[in-house]
């Protein structure tokens, strides 16, 4: 007498070698993939580190005279630009105002305020005239004069 489990396993025992081969293959592939992971990272790091050298060797070194000439022109342009620079703030782009100019501006401002303050007092000409709502013909006093 056997249990169903024993019968089923015994019936398929012949597949054992094939299953062993599958197991080994899967584990070999997995180990291979796992070992390639650090290699991939190292390859990426090497590529990144080699980039400046490659740039130098392939782009700059073959045409180094042209690059030197270009660099000289850029330096010259920078020097010219720097020497001709006026008092312009590099941050705001507005002219830099000195203290004397500011003092003069404040004095002028004060004078202007004083003048305007005098204008604030109403003059005689600005005072309101006596105004009557009567018709001109009824204002007898002034008409006789």
From the CB of 32, what's the least distance to other proteins, in Å? 11
**Between residues 18 and 119, which has the closer beta carbon with respect to other proteins?**
18
From the CB of 4, what's the least distance to other proteins, in Å? 4
**Cα distances (angstroms) measured from residue 83 to each of 73, 78, 79, 80, 96:** 15, 9, 6, 5, 17
**Between residues 23 and 61, which has the closer beta carbon with respect to other proteins?**
23
d(CA 36, CA 42): 10
From the CB of 46, what's the least distance to other proteins, in Å? 24
**Between residues 29 and 42, which has the closer beta carbon with respect to other proteins?**
29
Contact yes or no for 87/96 (Cβ under 8 A): yes
Q: Which residues are near other proteins by CB under 8 A?
A: 1-5, 7-9, 11-13, 15-16, 18-20, 22-23, 25-27, 29-31, 34
From the CB of 37, what's the least distance to other proteins, in Å? 10
Q: Look at the chain and count its residues.
A: 145
Smallest CA-to-CA distance from 89 within 98, 78, 80 is with 98
Contact yes or no for 142/135 (Cβ under 8 A): no
**Between residues 8 and 57, which has the closer beta carbon with respect to other proteins?**
8
d(CA 81, CA 75): 10
């Amino acid at each position: 007498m056997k249990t169903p489990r024993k019968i089923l396993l015994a019936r398929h025992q012949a597949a054992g070698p094939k299953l062993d081969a599958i197991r080994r293959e899967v584990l070999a592939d997995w180990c291979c993939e796992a070992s390639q992971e650090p290699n991939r990272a190292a390859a990426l790091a090497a590529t990144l580190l080699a980039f400046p050298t490659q740039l130098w060797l392939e782009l700059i070194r073959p045409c180094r005279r042209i690059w030197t000439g270009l660099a000289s022109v850029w330096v010259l342009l920078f020097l010219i630009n720097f020497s001709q620079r006026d008092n312009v703030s590099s941050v705001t782009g507005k002219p830099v105002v000195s203290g004397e100019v500011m003092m003069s501006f404040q004095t002028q401002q004060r004078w202007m305020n004083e003048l305007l303050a005098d204008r604030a007092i109403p003059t005689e000409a600005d005072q309101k005239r006596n105004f009557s709502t009567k018709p001109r013909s009824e204002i007898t006093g002034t008409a006789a004069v």
